Chains A and B, each alone.
Chain A
Amino acid sequence: GENVEQHPSTLSVQEGDSAVIKCTYSDSASNYFPWYKQELGKRPQLIIDIRSNVGEKKDQRIAVTLNKTAKHFSLHITETQPEDSAVYFCAASAFTGGGNKLTFGTGTQLKVEL
């Protein structure tokens, strides 16, 4: 089955700096890669996703890049703000006939310091 590794496990940045979180996956059939933000005690929130037919996607301060050859994808957050502090999870899945079960990474605790 799919295996997703995520690094780093914790990341501390100064407000205004950029943050980068990296993930690798094992199943070459995976073609959908979402990122979730989870604040303490809250539900995982979908913040951006990318499909295998594109190499990069951007939404305001957030961007995701995908390298299918190397089987890795990354989340980039620019101009970080204190409200970006949360746990971020990457995930991967392969679309099947009925759905796309997600395999998650182990999470990155991002702390944005003033």
Chain B
Amino acid sequence: DTGVSQDPRHKITKRGQNVTFRCDPISEHNRLYWYRQTLGQGPEFLTYFQNEAQLEKSRLLSDRFSAERPKGSFSTLEIQRTEQGDSAMYLCASSSGLAGGQYFGPGTRLTVT
């Protein structure tokens, strides 16, 4: 499968714990995006990278969230001190070039208990 992959697919954690998600984009794509989707809503933009540079962060992204793309390939999204409001589907997408369409991974469903 040469599409976007994400790991894990599901994560259940207790409030206050830290979690980390991984995204592997389509290999030739230099842009990588993170979105969050809650039930019945469209995805909401969180942050994006061009190669290893993080170019923009949404105001939705509190200080507890951090994302990296150290070698311009895979990316990680970490949430520290999780809260119940963090429960959502975290989606990763990648694109090629400025005009390329964004292709989504299967997402990581986070449940904070």
Contact = CB atoms under 8 A, between A and B. Distances in A.
Nearest to B4: A43
A83 B86 CA distance: 32
B85 interface: no
Contact of A43 (B42, B44, B58, B106): B106
B56 A34 contact: no
Given A43-B107, A95-B99, A98-B55, A107 B31 contact: no
A55 interface: no
Contact of A44 (B40, B48, B53, B104): B104
Contact of A95 (B44, B55, B98): B98
Interface in A89-112: 89, 91, 95-107
Interface residues of B, number: 27
Interface in B26-82: 31, 33, 35, 40-45, 48, 50, 53, 55-56, 58
A42 interface: yes
Contacts of A101: 33, 45, 48, 56, 58
Interface in A30-84: 32, 34, 36, 42-46, 49, 51
A66 B98 CA distance: 20
B102 interface: yes
A34 B99 contact: no
30 contacts: A34-B101, A34-B102, A43-B4, A43-B105, A43-B106, A43-B107, A46-B104, A89-B42, A96-B55, A96-B56, A98-B31, A98-B48, A98-B50, A98-B56, A99-B31, A99-B33, A99-B56, A100-B95, A100-B98, A101-B33, A101-B56, A101-B58, A102-B33, A102-B35, A102-B43, A102-B45, A104-B42, A106-B40, A106-B42, A107-B40
Given A44-B104, A107-B42, 5 more contacts: A43-B4, A99-B33, A101-B58, A102-B35, A106-B42
